[in-house]
Structure 1
Amino acid sequence: MTAPIIDIILEDPSKDDLRAIVATLDAYNAAHSGMVDQPGFAVLIRDPVTKTAIGGLYATDGYGWAFIRYLAIPESLRGQGFGQRLIAEAEKIARGRGYIGLWLDTFEFQARPFYEKLGFEVFGQLEGGAGAIPRYFLKKRF
């Protein structure tokens, strides 16, 4: 057998290459943890006329936790309860799937106080420095 080669990609990999990496990691994790990822889920905000998504929440499986990967609300809709509704729906879905809780990360300029108001607590932080913006990791256990 010919030895594998290292191929350095200095931009986003192809979807096939990314799938290969994830499949390899998933197989290893399942064999050693006994856990298999569940599919991700989304809670969307749709334009009432066009029905297209204009914001929402996307979460993925995180070995017993739901990881909120993205939460975005259009500027014009902020402060109207949409964020609270998105989190509440994510909690319902996560509880229904038997998750321990929700977790996410947010930058200093984003929504840390919003999440804390909803019961999330900081469990980690990457410090800022040399122009870097502090990043916080928050969780909400059920």
Structure 2
Amino acid sequence: MTSTDPNEQYFGEYQEVFDAPQQKLLIDIGFKALKPRNHPLEAKIAQHEANLLGYYAIEYEGYLNVFADDNELVGGLILQRRWNAVYIYSFYIIESLRGIGLGKRLLTLAEHLALQMGGKALVLETSTLHTYQFYLNNGFQILSEVSGYIDGENWLHMFKEINPEQ
């Protein structure tokens, strides 16, 4: 479990071993329901949405953490579900472990976890500063592209529908 708070309860926690060329990596996976926010404005918005939807749309947070043999965190990603979209945040793999299929495996695991969290699509933001082609190669589409947001680079909003039958 990634949290240091012993009272936090993650669901669907499990682990997987990934065979990297020089070592075995441990992928730690889980998610939890988020508590409703305490800010009065967000409470009003949540109540408004619940009235429109007929139910309270629970938000979830998920994680995939990759650890090396020495328990060093060497990669992973964070997920958050809002309505039926699951956002990928902070996706990172150290450079020495790139190009071995680990990123593709993490995206596949993220899709499975997103489905467990009730998601129907993965959404992310990236830029031409990063390897956005990786996402295109893994089935994501560019929803919007904005120049000038990052000096000399383009900001990208990307999307991929996920299907339980895949």
**TM-score, normalising length: structure 1:** 0.76
121, 128, 136: which one pairs with 2:156? 136
Higher strand share: 2
Percent of pairs with identical residues: 26
**Could you tell me which amino acid in structure 2 is paired with residue 109 of structure 1?**
L
**Is 1:31 paired with 2:47?**
yes
Name the CA distance, whole Å, in 1 between partners of 2:152 and 2:45.
32
**Can you list the C-alpha shifts for 1:3-38, whole angstroms capped at 9, x where unaligned?**
xxxxxxxxxxxxxxxxxxx53254233212124342
Is 1:26–1:36's contact at 8 Å kept on the other side of the alignment?
Answer: no
Matched residue, 1:60:
80
Whole-Å separation in 2 of the counterparts to 1:99 and 1:129: 29
Cα 1:30/1:77, change in 2 over 3 Å: same
CA RMSD of aligned residues (A): 1.9
SS at match of 2:87: strand
Q: 1:117 aligns with which of 116, 137, 146?
A: 137
Instruction: Write the distance in 2 (CA, Å) between the matches of 1:105 and 1:83.
Output: 16
Query: How far, CA to CA, are the matches of 2:136 and 2:127 in structure 1?
Result: 13
Question: Which of the pair has more CA radius of gyration?
Answer: 1
**When the two structures are superposed, what TM-score results if normalisation uses the length of structure 2?**
0.66
Residue 72, structure 1, aligned to residue 87, structure 2: no
Equivalences, count: 120
Distance 1:129 1:55, change over 3 A: closer
